Homo-oligomer: A and B are copies of this chain.
């Protein structure tokens, strides 16, 4: 029986998980694919740490170049993360005619287009189910299951670390810093967890989903992003009183000539399917023009869930190899690249509802002043809560607005924050309808 040989570069968390699945579930993998998938080489600089798995003798080395140039390797799995080295490894592998599987969302989001071109030229696959949502097969859903559709909307909870932190803040009333420290202690967050909590990681994943949905690389830099670090337990409590929870959402919407693409904390109605996605779980809601609303949910990260996605990509490629299919490659699921570019809408033109928490001085006329300035910018208020004063004498005034334009909101808040009736920068959270 023919076999397919795999080489993994990067024997960290996901690398070890991938190796473990290939070895432990080898029999079921063989039965499904119809040929043996053999883990032939693993390359890593660290040859001594215990990864809780014993590789067959001679498999582990620090020779990534040997792996990349081994004519017997059919599929190279890149799991070192990061940019420059990973990019060079993937380029070399593709140019050497090897299929590549990667979980490197940052690299694909920021330099994907170059790699997709190399893969196409070489006629080899570049697969990345593991780059978004761990083991949750959302890449496959967009590329295959929903392929008949034009994608109208994507709303995701795609960063497990942020979701874990927000869950602790909601369930236990913890301040942001305490929730972060707890997450670091438990291994749910890196120290410091910058790219997770500032929205960059979620924006990377959104760029990948948009590229797949529309068949052209998304301009990562144009995706608006905002992190969760300014959120307070008070905001979560106020949101609760209005019937909402707060999640770090990644949102894309097809506006016809433009794509709305943004990552920020958002208030979500408690009866929304995404509102019950807690802890380190991920979920994505995808709406297609014909299929309507669909949702995918699963563990967004971790050795085994991510390893499961990597191995599913390896199996799909092995099936193609087995069937002697022509060498073709469509990393974005589109056989014809149109060379279009996607235009991302400026956040200024966003129209949505808003939550504001003003920290006002306790004097007559303050509410009138605030609502006056909002009114001048066509920002109309739908609910107000005013509570007793804070320890430092500031009175929280909380408002929900009807839909308004982001540019008007930005200008109104900038104007208000300059006035001496407000004692602190106003908290603004966008509200999902």
Contact = CB atoms under 8 A, between A and B. Distances in A.
A40 B85 CA distance: 50
Given A135-B288, A294-B135, A320-B325, A29 B141 contact: no
A334 B25 contact: no
Contacts of A34: 328, 330, 335-336
A334 B135 CA distance: 20
A299 B290 contact: no
A315 interface: yes
Interface in A115-173: 129, 134-137, 140-141, 144-150
Contact of A32 (B32, B312, B335): B335
A21 B304 contact: no
A148 B304 CA distance: 11
Nearest to A296: B296
Contacts of A17: 290
B290 A273 contact: no
A392 interface: no
A157 to B, nearest CB: 13
A54 to B, nearest CB: 18
B324 A21 contact: no
Interface string A282-324: 0100001111111111110010110111011011100110111
Nearest to A333: B32
Interface in A17-62: 17, 21, 25, 28-35
Contacts of A335: 31-35, 319, 322
Contacts of A29: 147-148
A322 to B, nearest CB: 7
A257 interface: no
A145 to B, nearest CB: 2
A283 B292 CA distance: 14
A352 interface: no
B323 A328 contact: yes
Contacts of A323: 320, 323, 325-326, 328
A140 B141 CA distance: 8
A250 to B, nearest CB: 18
B326 A290 contact: no
Contacts of A148: 21, 25, 29, 307-308, 311-312, 314-315
Interface of A: 17, 21, 25, 28-35, 129, 134-137, 140-141, 144-150, 215, 271, 273, 276, 283, 288-299, 302, 304-305, 307-309, 311-312, 314-316, 319-320, 322-326, 328, 330, 333-336, 338
